[in-house]
Structure 1
Amino acid sequence: MNLWVLPSILLIIPTIHTFQYSKLAQYVDSHQEQYVETLRDWVAIESDSSNALKRSDLHQMMEIVAQKLRILGGSVQLVDIGQQELPDGQMLVLPKVVTAQFGNDPNKNTVCIYGHVDVQPAKLEDGWKTPPYNLTDIDGNLHGRGASDNKAPVLAWIHAVEAYHALRMELPVNVKFIIEGMEETGSNGLDSLVVAQRDTFFSDVDYIIISDCGWLSRRPALTYGTRGNCYFFAEVEGPKQDLHSGVYGGTLMEPMTDLIGILDTLITSSGKILIPGIMEAVAPLSDEEWKMYQDIQFDMDNYKTKIGVNHLMYNNKVDLLVHNWLYPTVSIHGIEGAFSDPGTKTVIPAKVTAKFSIRQVPNMDPAVVKKQVTDYLHAVFAKRKSPNKLKVTMVIGAKPWLADTKHPLYEAGKAAVRRVFDMDPDLIREGGTIPIARTFQDITGKGIIMIPIGGFDDGMHSQNEKISRYNYIEGTKLFIAYLNEVAQINKTRSI
């Protein structure tokens, strides 16, 4: 007879002995300079996935990741995921995805760690205080592009496995890695890989761990939700060419005026979204979450100082967090085709394209949002009675992700945080989007947790990105502790 243990009654049993953890932690402390130097080497590689001219750097980065895992004795593959087509029609080879496996004991839980080693663009003239690809230690903060997002977290997981290997200790779980090089530009090819390997690489995986996120404050956090993202282009086209505003101004309906007019109907100055149907689809806020957010460590004044403003949309912590995590937002990002260089130019653009996004939350469907936005903007545009042409396109439709905080993965996370930091973690959501989380959830059906080690002030995607030495080193210890905690989750198995 088959007897199945339901996930709802999975148990956590006592964790590893303090002595064993202490030995591993001591190893990490004694090797922290080596860890920093490895991060320095990784940051030095300009693995910008948005720049076709940097593609060779990306290929090099993936090879280095693979070699690092091979040295530890892992079974490593560099998986070809094909090519991408650039806007000019050029075909470019995508960086291979690194997969690795350490251990295959069927009696152990198997965790799969996801990460990426590509980065956002960075130039010194963008406002960096230090060369972005030269890791610089300033008062214990390690500055460099990709330091926090996501090279240090990937390395911290590798260091965790390495500590066991160096001390000749058996890993408490089987560990798999899947590391990609295109996350910052949409994870090209990764969805297809996950589908193709669902019944092979992922077949024995019990849980998936993502560490591509950060803390909310100085208190460690576990992340259980992210918003999705619907990204739109709204193009208004008029005359056949750009025109002189002195010669032609006042004689035609200008595309830029039409575009600004319809953009102004998306959202009010107080943040209310005006597109019919958007807010009606939002999942209601539970009393449990409302109460949970009361205890989250979050300083409104520090938040304002960090982003350089003196006034926010909301005056209390809970309202601000709820609107950043649980409600959709509209953001207008820019206008293509308009004059944006320094100086003056008296031109009427013939065609202009606005770029804006709507962050999605649970119960919202990208296909429905696409129709709502397209229908609404065309209706608004029709009222202007303009002879110009409007074209609305949704170019990204990433779904939100949400986990159950009562899952044993989160209990294991709490225990690991308590062991390393001697405090309980905040349970938080992310306002941003990590599409691969939903991909993993939908395709593999595995339990997922996000365990961040990045600081709240790391400046991911911004100038002067950094990770603190403290977060990097203690984060490595957290991952060591977590592997031991997740090993204690009773596997769902037939008897």
Structure 2
Amino acid sequence: MSSPPAGLVQKLFQYIDLHQDEFVQMLKEWVAVESDSVQPVPRLRRELLRMTALAAAALRRLGARVDLVDSGAQQLPDGQTLPEPPIILAELGAAPQKPTVCFYGHLDVQPAARADGWLTDPYTLTEVDGKLYGRGATDNKGPVLAWINAVSAFRALEEDLPVNVKFVLEGMEEAGSVALEELVKREKDGFFSTVDYIVISDSLWLSQRPALTYGMRGNSYFTVEVKCRDQDFHSGTFGGILHEPMADLVALLGSLTDSSGRILVPGIYDHVAPVTEEERELYAATDLDLGEYRASAQVKDFLFDTKEEILMHLWRYPSLSIHGVEGAFDEPGMKTVIPGRVTGKFSIRLVPAMKPPVVERQVKQHLQRIFSERNSSNQMSVSMVLGLCPWIASVDDSQYLAAKRAMEAVFGAEPDMIRDGSTIPVAQVFQDVLQKSVLMLPLGAVDDGEHSQNEKINRRNYIEGSKVFAVFFLEMAQLHGKRQDLPA
């Protein structure tokens, strides 16, 4: 297949390089908005609305038609309601001979404060040694702007945009994307009816080498409550004559995995898809230095010794993590109480072809059996509060080929084909509801620290990522087979 015209590609690259400080300035303006969707307070909700308006204005400057779709209100436990930010649906171009590529991104962020351990103000984009520090820089404001930058380069150069572009930008991703699935279903025969391909850029490379992501794990999140009574006990008065809820809970949580991390819930591995030879080849080809990876994680050792074992247990085998306990004393100092009621929290990352309802039944049966064996007089209840399916794509899809060629053109290296152990539910929603190919095209480096202190995106990844998207448009037009040769 022929490559895009070299003259046009060079013009696009030069434009993006010359205007990179403007692109960084725009990212600075976006990072300055404290668009935290996790903490449901009026001030932060107003910031979310401001962030939505800022993004909508940027899209309108490109010439896009922008609709702000009302997503309702959030009901809080105290009866208060807060408006949810509208979801942006925008479109640019409707030429029937061109492919239509839809980009999904989010404008909200996780909470952040200087007191949490940030070295800089999290809402002031600060550049140090080519690294742009700020909350949302990599998750997900930088990648959203990189897509906008790519479109703006074509516009500024008065070059024909080789694809029709649509945007879906939301402001509640970090809070569960509460209204998005309903909107996708409602607009299946409307806004999404002309979409050919969907692109998400909300994950990270595995190493310093560029990567394309073709799979994400799902997630089943559980709570298990053990209750004797609502009030705590004095351990001197009642210790030794009760079935203590905390002891029951510790036994329940301890029954979930062994010391090597293997999940002990019967049947949990029955529906895990078998490893294929094609997968094994991808693991072998993936760039991962275990020593560097271990050092960056700041741990003494991992459970497994080889690159292939590490990758398979991160990507294609389920894992169970215990997250915390409610109701237990966790402050400094000594307090000799017996909690009357405690709740443990744990999750299982799901992989193809595991299903949340099946996992829910298996977990409940296992914990009920363990609890009954203790002959405790306490009450035990288990709930699955979240059940998200895993997602996997075909690396042979045309947009993966286009993205691979774009990465090679910009970074000069063939990207790794990787999965991700995390969960992005919207990928599976798009794939199931719309029956369209979904591409995960990450721009973030392995050390960007999304959700953590000192989140950043490298200037190189942000600017070169803008070039990747620009070349991707050209490659998609050629692969889709609906476009004439572009002028040099």
Q: Does TM, normalized by the shorter one, top 0.5? A: yes
Which of 332, 335, 338 pairs up with 1:342? 332
Residue of structure 2 in register with 1:29 after alignment: 17
- Give the residue type in structure 2 aligned to 1:345: K
One-letter amino acid matched to 1:478: V
- Which of 42, 64, 67 aligns to 2:54? It is 64
How far did 1:491 drift? Answer: 5.8
- Pair 1:105-2:105 in alignment: no
The aligned amino acid for 2:201 is S
What is the SS of the residue equivalent to 2:193? coil
Correspondence for 2:160: 170
Residue 484 of structure 1, CA deviation: 0.7
SS in structure 2 at match of 1:280: coil
Instruction: Specify the alignment match of 2:370 in structure 1.
Output: 380
Which residue does 2:142 correspond to in 1? 152
The CA distance in 2 between the partners of 1:391 and 1:361, in whole Å, is 26
- State whether structure 2 residue 402 is matched by structure 1 residue 412: yes
Superposed CA RMSD: 1.1
Q: CA deviation at 1:15?
A: 2.9
Q: Which residue of 2 aligns with 1:363?
A: 353
Secondary structure at the counterpart of residue 457 of structure 1: coil
Aligned partner of 1:427 in structure 2 is 417
How far, CA to CA, are the matches of 2:374 and 2:79 in structure 1? Answer: 36
How far apart in 2 are the matches of 1:237 and 1:48?
A: 34
SS at match of 1:52: coil
SS in 2 for 1:453: coil
Contact conserved, 1:234 with 1:390, CA < 8 A, in 2? yes
Following superposition, the deviation at residue 253 of structure 1 comes to 1.0
1:268 aligned partner: 258
Partner in structure 1 of residue 486 of structure 2: none
In the alignment, what sits opposite 1:199?
Answer: 189
- Amino acid corresponding to residue 118 of structure 2 in structure 1: W
What displacement does 1:35 show?
0.9
In 2: Cα distance, 1:123 partner to 1:353 partner: 28
1:293-304 matches, cutoff 5 A: 293-304=283-294
Tell me the distance in 2 between the aligned counterparts of 1:245 and 1:409: 63
Give the aligned residue type for 2:167: F
Unpaired segments ≥5 residues, structure 1? 1-12
Runs (4+) off by over 3 Å: none
Residues in 2 aligned to 1:228 and 1:58: alpha-carbon distance in whole angstroms: 27
Match of 1:15 in 2: 3
What CA distance in whole angstroms lies between the structure 2 residues aligned with 1:240 and 1:466?
44
SS class of match (2:160): coil
- CA shift, 1:136, in A, is 1.0
- Distance of 2:334 and 2:453 partners within structure 1: 28
Q: CA deviation at 1:245?
A: 1.5
Distance 1:194 1:211 in 2: 18
Deviation readout 1:422-463 (Å, 9 max, x if unpaired): 111100000000000000000000111110000011011111
Equivalent residues in 2 for 1:35-434, closer than 5 Å: 35-53=23-41, 54-434=44-424
Q: Does 1:481 align with 2:475?
A: no
CA distance in 2, matches of 1:89, 1:375: 35
Deviations 1:328-386 (A, max 9, x none): 00000000111112222222111111110000000100011111111111111111111
Equivalent residues, number: 480
Check whether the contact 1:331–1:356 (CA below 8 A) recurs between aligned residues: yes
Q: 3-state SS of the aligned residue for 1:281?
A: coil
Identify which range, 451-460 or 91-100, moves more after superposition: 91-100
CA separation in 2, counterparts of 1:392 and 1:430?
28
SS in 1 for 2:480: coil
Amino acid at match of 2:304: Y
Structure 2 letter corresponding to 1:84: Q
> What is the identity percentage for the equivalent residue pairs of Structure 1 and Structure 2?
52
Distance 2:25 2:332 in 1: 41
**Alpha-carbon distance between aligned partners in 2 of 1:413 and 1:231, rounded to the nearest angstrom:** 33
Q: Tell me, yes or no, if the aligned pair for 1:232 and 1:356 is still in contact at 8 Å.
A: yes
- Counterpart amino acid of 2:124? N
Cα shift readout 1:459-483 (whole Å, capped 9, x = no counterpart): 1111111100000000000010101
1:306 to partner: Cα distance = 1.2
Q: How far is 1:88 from its partner?
A: 3.0
What is the alpha-carbon distance in structure 2 between the residues aligned to residue 176 and residue 41 of structure 1? 23
SS of residue matched to 2:188: coil
Maintained 8 Å contact 1:84/1:188: no
Secondary structure of 1:279 counterpart: coil
Give the TM-score of the pair, scaled to structure 1: 0.96
The residue number in structure 1 matching 2:436 is 446
TM-score normalised according to structure 2 size: 0.97
Which amino acid is 2:477 matched to? A
For residues 144 and 117 of structure 1, the distance between their equivalents in structure 2, rounded to whole angstroms, comes to: 14
Name the SS of the counterpart of 1:294 in structure 2: helix
- Higher deviation after alignment, 41-50 or 242-251: 242-251
Aligned counterparts of 2:2 and 2:189: Cα–Cα separation in 1: 32
Paired position in structure 1 for 2:485: none
Q: Which digits, 9 at most, give the CA deviation of each residue in 1:82-132, with x for residues without a partner?
A: 122223333221110111101000110000000001111111121111111
Residue identity in the other structure for 1:432: S
- The worse-fitting range, judged by mean Cα deviation, of 222-231 and 50-59 is 50-59
Equivalents in 2 of 1:130, 1:148: separation in Å?
16
Distance 1:68 1:346 in 2: 58
